Amino acid sequence: MRPFRPNRLRGVGRVSCISVVAAVAVPWSGVFSGWRREELRTNLWLVPTVEVLVAVLLFWGTVSLDRAVYNGRLSAPSWIISGTADAARQILTSIAASVITVVGIVFSITIVTLTLASTQFGPRMLRNFIRDRGTQLTLGTFVATFVYCVVALVSIGPGDHGDFVPHISITTTFGLVLINLAVLIYFIHHIATQIQLPQVIAGIANDLARAVEVQSADAAPAKGDAPGDRASVRELVATIETQGSVIRTPKSGYLQFIRHKTLVRIAARAEAVIRLPYRPGHFLVEGRELAAVWPPEAADEVARYLERAQITGPHRTLTQDVAFGIDQLVEIAIRALSPATNDTFTALTCVDWLGDSLCKIARVWAPTQVHRDSAGAIRLISDQVSFERLIQRAFEKIRQAGHGMPAVMIRQLDALTTIMEQTTDPARARSIMEQAEMIQRANLESVPEVSDRGDVERRYAALAACYRRLPTSG
């Protein structure tokens, strides 16, 4: 690794705005594309809008065929529905009225589902239901059919050869009605399945696993592990903290996304180093520190484009915030363990999926905190959540809520044992043992039954034995 060279920062005042703009105007790809897709997916209007446009295009095609048949350029097949203009209007009016009624029912079911999700699973689960593709497709199918019926109804009218009746379009409407019936049956089954707690928990865990895979694939290979490199980074951080210029947060909100590569380009163009004290998932307060830049002369240039490289919003997202997925599972578990709910089995299910998620994280999680430009110079130092912190978030609150519950303690120790088997790093293994030791202390303090305490102690002993067998434990 080539250490950071301060003399490369000279001449920062001569950096042109054009060069910095060029650094910002890089195609957005990778994790950012995933963030953009996620934002679009959580909009109920997008899929229905696309389906309505498809319905309009479909009508344009069918009515063109109807015009060709009407003018004698084509002959309609014998199975095409025929009838008078009045009969066609009556059929289309009846279908449109029925479809819009079903649309209201589907919207009502969706609202009831969202209300149930907010009450039973927590308000942060609402986005998981809003982003459900099945619900969006169902709404879009019915709305698109209604629009198709309306435009077909409007097209009926007098013509040069008598009343123009779009027989092919009307026949297509009957086909759409059959599709709507199938979609309605699917929607009822889908909603009945979707609101089941095991399904919700598994869905969150799967989303978390995908987020971990994307972030791990997007992360650059870690550098700076040599002792000299780490010392150089610490020295640079100390320099930024004491001599750097602070950029303030322009507006409050949760930090949702950071374009690390763009920040590296901005810093390289300005011959500067940027340090970010926050990571996605943190709440930013307007006027507080957003970033620190060194040398101070580069702060104005960096601040001008820094906001474009970071995205804030009113809520957290999973795209770069793996801890958010863990927090969602923990929230469901805590609600299940509350005296008002007292649903231990749901909490155990959450612990199982937390263990599975952390096993995957233990195998691939290696976040990059130090980012370099193409020449190897340090340009960005970011804050990243560590594996040890993820372990704490996954087990601490559930341990506290499950105080005195042997079943919860046993399941947590089983999950920790499974995670330990996937770990070779001594620091990570030690953080797992720390959680196990706290569970064991809670067991000795809060479980009065000797037999129950013994069950927990045996699980703890099995985990401790697994820890001692690791080559890194010595």
Predicted confidence (pLDDT) per residue in 71-91, tens digit: 888 888 888 888 889 999 999
Query: Residue 245 forms beta bridges with which residues?
Result: 293
84 within a domain of the structure (yes/no):
yes
Cβ-based neighbours of 465, under 8 Å, separated by 6 or more: none
Q: How far apart are CA 245 and CA 241, in angstroms?
A: 8
Ranges under pLDDT 50 in the chain: 1-32, 220-225
Contact 280, 257 (CB under 8 A): yes
| DSSP string for 258-315 | E-HHHHHHHHHHTT-EEE----TTPEEPTTSEEEEEESGGGHHHHHHHHGGGEEEESS
Q: Is 159 helix (H, G, I), strand (E, B) or coil?
A: strand
Return left, alpha or beta for 282; rule: phi > 0 is left, psi -120 to 50 is alpha, else beta: beta
Q: In the prediction, which pLDDT does 20 show? A: 38
Q: How far apart are CA 455 and CA 409, in angstroms?
A: 10
As to burial, measured by CB atoms within 10 angstroms (0-12 exposed, 13-18 middle, 19+ buried), residue 117 is buried
Q: In the prediction, which pLDDT does 38 show? A: 62
Cβ-based neighbours of 424, under 8 Å, separated by 6 or more: 470, 471, 472
311 within a domain of the structure (yes/no):
no
228 within a domain of the structure (yes/no):
no
How far, in Å, are 105, 170, 282, 306 from residue 325 at the CA level?
32, 48, 14, 27
359 within a domain of the structure (yes/no):
no
Token pair 């079903």 is at which residue?
102
| Overall domain count for the chain | 1
Cβ-based neighbours of 213, under 8 Å, separated by 6 or more: 364
151 within a domain of the structure (yes/no):
yes
- C-beta atoms surrounding 90 within 10 Å: 13
The 10s digit of each residue's pLDDT in 192-205 is 888 888 999 999 99
Contact 68, 60 (CB under 8 A): no
- C-beta atoms surrounding 260 within 10 Å: 23
55 within a domain of the structure (yes/no):
yes
Q: How far apart are CA 101 and CA 145, in angstroms?
A: 12
Query: Rg of the chain over CA atoms, in angstroms?
Result: 30
Q: In the prediction, which pLDDT does 355 show? A: 96
Token pair 């906001």 is at which residue?
307
Q: In the prediction, which pLDDT does 317 show? A: 87
Q: In the prediction, which pLDDT does 254 show? A: 93
Cβ-based neighbours of 141, under 8 Å, separated by 6 or more: 51, 179, 180, 183
Residues in the chain: 474
188 within a domain of the structure (yes/no):
yes
Contact 324, 310 (CB under 8 A): no
81 within a domain of the structure (yes/no):
yes
Cα dihedral 340→346→347→352 (10° resolution): 180
- Domain span at residue 150 reads 42-195
- C-beta atoms surrounding 134 within 10 Å: 15
